[in-house]
Structure 1
Amino acid sequence: MTSESSDRQKELEQRERILREREVELRLREMEANIQATDAAFHQTAKHQPEDSQKPWMKKVILGGKLFALGVVTLVAVKIASVLAGFIIVAALGLMSYKLFFESKKTNL
């Protein structure tokens, strides 16, 4: 009785193993088919061009204008800074000359 049940058990295990192997093989075939199907799909792409986009020369003109404006602003800032530095230098020289020549010397003896 035990030999019959163990034989039966072994036979069932063998059938289950065979079924699992078949399922794995079937899944692998399906996966291969999916991979091959996705490899075959090829779509040509193109860069999107808006209809009302500016022309290339217009972009260059705008960039040139920005550069020119930056140059003008820089020159104005340098001119203002040089005038301000001149005022500060003249004021410092005036203060030093006042201290040296016009301020009364008080001697505490």
Structure 2
Amino acid sequence: MTSQHNRPDELEQRERLLREKEVEIRLREMEQEMSANNPPLHKTVKHQAEDYPKPWMKKAILAGKLFTLGVVALVAVRIASVLAGFVIIGVLGWVAYKLFLENRKKPS
């Protein structure tokens, strides 16, 4: 009697083991397919042309631009200060004219 009761359990266990083996085999097949599809990777190197500026050349160009910017700023400040001087002298002259040289109103 016990062997008849164990028979369905034994069959279920064998079926389960068979399914597990089938799954493992299918997973291995899928892994092989995936690894076969991946092309080999090669390390690439960036191509630099002969006329490409060297790193020190970039720094020299940047320094030149900065120097030019400084000179332009200095010239702009000088021009602004001269113009401000002219404006100040003009305003002082106008005020002096209004105070001292302009004809007074007719005396009554």
- Report the counterpart of residue 45 of structure 2 in structure 1: 46
- What is the TM-score when the length of structure 2 is the normalising length? 0.62
Q: What is the identity, as a one-letter code, of the residue corresponding to 2:51?
A: D
- What is the TM-score when the length of structure 1 is the normalising length? 0.61
Q: Deviations over 1:12-70 (max 9, x none)?
A: xxxxxxxxxxxxxxxxx67972x323445212111221122122212211211111111
Task: Flag as ranges the 4+ runs of structure 1 deviating above 3 A.
Answer: 29-32
Change (3 A) 1:31 1:108: farther
Distance 1:95 1:83 in 2: 18
Q: Work out the number of aligned pairs and report it.
A: 81
Q: What is the identity, as a one-letter code, of the residue corresponding to 1:36?
A: S
Q: 1:94-105 counterparts in 2 under 5 A?
A: 94-105=93-104
Distance 1:46 1:68 in 2: 35
Q: Which stretch of structure 1 is more off in the superposition, 72-81 or 98-107? A: 98-107
Unaligned runs of 5+ in 1: 1-28
Change (3 A) 1:108 1:41: farther
Q: 1:71-86 counterparts in 2 under 5 A?
A: 71-86=70-85
Q: Aligned Cα RMSD in Å?
A: 2.6
Unaligned runs of 5+ in 2: 1-28
